[in-house]
Chains A and B, each alone.
Chain A
């Protein structure tokens, strides 16, 4: 046992660098890194991989001056911990749990369910998520949406972020979006039976800064049941409402169907 510890301690840098190098190659090659980072950050990982290769090459010629103690194993052991978590994150996605933690306030319709307000008539201070407000209020600086696709039924195929980028443009139009479903009693109490939030996360750099963007979907009667956190396609008439000082993006008379997870899952 002591021999084994000494052996690992002597080659601790290799024990650290090799698995990390293999992990970076696999993540880049298979595209798995997109669960964590923006697609263009692939180059960062490739750069990191190249440096690791240099370090590994240099280790081949290292002469350990003395017999290292077991204590030197602590830093590499800690640096290997993220690999365990990477394995556990395989196939995982930011779901309703993360959405609930990151959501700041549920948008509300007023008590009468009125949607007659103009978005520009807001006088009450905003109470929802400040980042969503900032996104909606960016006005002229807002990036013009990519020319939307029309499907065979004349419905605009959009992302949730497209709706946030130009809500006035799509107000009253038939739209189709894909998102993960979040449904709980509060949502249904606020928006009616069967209502749910369809959400996706927007990532600036990595999943740690993921920001939820969502629309309220009010389904037609008789829509199929779907499980929580399922990817769904919601089709219906888009409304951009202002109520009780909060801007609300709603899809009315929604037809809900199961959808495959989009690739990439995040919005940018």
Chain B
């Protein structure tokens, strides 16, 4: 059995990652409490409170729903079944894997443990990468939250879905060529010596007690799924809160006119929004609410850059990818992601419909 150490839970990261993670978290707590303690009656902090609360309230149900979906997938869908769904031909497998999020909707944090299991089951590297990058964007929960956040602007919803899927497929194809015959995964991942398996719940295994009724077993597994959901929500939700706070701070203290100067230079705005996406570690099931709050401040193409890059590359993902890939592989993949999203956002801007 794997050593229990949930990758979805930052508190169980390796010691180095743990320290870095704590710095961010403690820093946020100190800042958030200090701001409230010092200026809670000031107009600026009252406005900050309104904006911060509204972003969190709007996204919270989607985060809970995403965590629930991830928990159900984790508990009820075995990795073997997922692999059986994929075609044998590589390019077909890539196309299918990038769209697996439609069947198994998980956010970018929940997807890493699933992908680790898939890699251990021997799924080809390009298909692993396609699922890893495709699932957090091309899934129905993310589409629903994007639609709600953008008031059912289907152009944005469909574009995010289609471009995200295309980027996942493109990077997977490139990775398939670049890494052919090379070692991609961290040592021990595929030879059974992995020290960081997603959980210790024995999903997919039948209950060993013959007396247990099928209803009782189903109930127990549903409870297990809910507890996974709770852990995922805890492990990911706090990053969203930090991101929402940063967005609310920006909106409270920086006038729209300052953003307008950036909006006049779409390329700059795109790069800035990409940097923001990497920095604030939002969950893909909630990031549309933060992106949409920049509406009217930066071009839609820059918001799209934010929506496309955040689910596949941010600081917490860089930490989590280290439990999956070798560092040089992460560096190459990160470079591909940045270039692909930048190119896509510039193309969207040039189309004239995302200005």
How many angstroms from the CA of A203 to the CA of B51 in the assembled complex?
Answer: 12
Q: Are B50 and A94 in contact (CB under 8 A)?
A: yes
Task: Give chain B nearest CB distance to A253 CB in angstroms.
Answer: 31
Residues 180-212 of A, flagged 1 when their CB comes within 8 A of B and 0 if not, give 000000000000000000000000111111010
Number of residues in A with C-beta < 8 Å to the partner?
A: 65
Given contacts A35-B54, A75-B25, A84-B32, 14 further A-B contacts (CB under 8 A): A45-B60, A55-B226, A55-B233, A69-B11, A71-B11, A74-B11, A78-B241, A81-B29, A85-B36, A89-B46, A204-B295, A205-B148, A205-B151, A206-B54
Q: Are A208 and B43 in contact (CB under 8 A)?
A: no
10 contacts between A and B (CB under 8 A): A33-B57, A37-B54, A61-B223, A79-B237, A81-B241, A82-B53, A89-B46, A101-B251, A205-B58, A207-B50
Q: Which of A48, A57, A58, A94 contacts B61 (CB under 8 A)?
A: A48
Q: Which of B48, B244, B296 contacts A211 (CB under 8 A)?
A: B296
Task: Give chain A nearest CB distance to B11 CB in angstroms.
Answer: 5
How many angstroms from the CA of A79 to the CA of B148 in the assembled complex?
Answer: 23
Q: Which of B29, B56, B226 contacts A82 (CB under 8 A)?
A: B56
User: Do A75 and B238 contact each other (CB < 8 Å), given the known contacts A13-B230, A93-B50, A97-B44?
Assistant: yes
Q: Which of A47, A75, A96 contacts B237 (CB under 8 A)?
A: A75
B49 interface hit (Cβ, 8 Å): yes
Number of residues in B with C-beta < 8 Å to the partner?
A: 68
Q: Are A209 and B292 in contact (CB under 8 A)?
A: yes
A142 interface hit (Cβ, 8 Å): no
B105 interface hit (Cβ, 8 Å): no
Interface of B is mostly: helix
Q: Are A86 and B53 in contact (CB under 8 A)?
A: yes
Task: Give chain A nearest CB distance to B207 CB in angstroms.
Answer: 15
Q: Which of B18, B28, B58, B238 contacts A206 (CB under 8 A)?
A: B58
How many angstroms from the CA of A121 to the CA of B58 in the assembled complex?
Answer: 42
B293 interface hit (Cβ, 8 Å): yes
User: Do A55 and B229 contact each other (CB < 8 Å), given the known contacts A48-B61, A82-B56?
Assistant: yes
How many angstroms from the CA of A59 to the CA of B25 in the assembled complex?
Answer: 24
B204 interface hit (Cβ, 8 Å): no
Q: Are A208 and B25 in contact (CB under 8 A)?
A: no
Residues 59-80 of A, flagged 1 when their CB comes within 8 A of B and 0 if not, give 1011001001101101111110
Chain A interface residues toward B at CB < 8 A: 12-13, 16-17, 20, 27, 33, 35-37, 41, 44-45, 47-48, 51-52, 54-55, 57-59, 61-62, 65, 68-69, 71-72, 74-79, 81-82, 84-86, 88-89, 92-98, 100-105, 129-131, 204-209, 211
Interface of A is mostly: helix
Q: Which residues of A contact B289 (CB under 8 A)?
A: 205-206, 208
Q: Which residues of B contact A94 (CB under 8 A)?
A: 47, 50
Q: Are B52 and A45 in contact (CB under 8 A)?
A: no
B45 interface hit (Cβ, 8 Å): yes
Task: Give chain B nearest CB distance to A225 CB in angstroms.
Answer: 20
Nearest residue in B to A91 (C-beta to C-beta)?
B46
How many angstroms from the CA of A97 to the CA of B254 in the assembled complex?
Answer: 11
Q: Are B4 and A85 in contact (CB under 8 A)?
A: no
Q: Which residues of A contact B252 (CB under 8 A)?
A: 98, 101
Nearest residue in A to B253 (C-beta to C-beta)?
A101
Q: Which residues of B contact A100 (CB under 8 A)?
A: 255
Q: Which residues of B contact A51 (CB under 8 A)?
A: 61, 64-65, 68, 229
Q: Which residues of A contact B158 (CB under 8 A)?
A: none
Q: Are A48 and B54 in contact (CB under 8 A)?
A: no
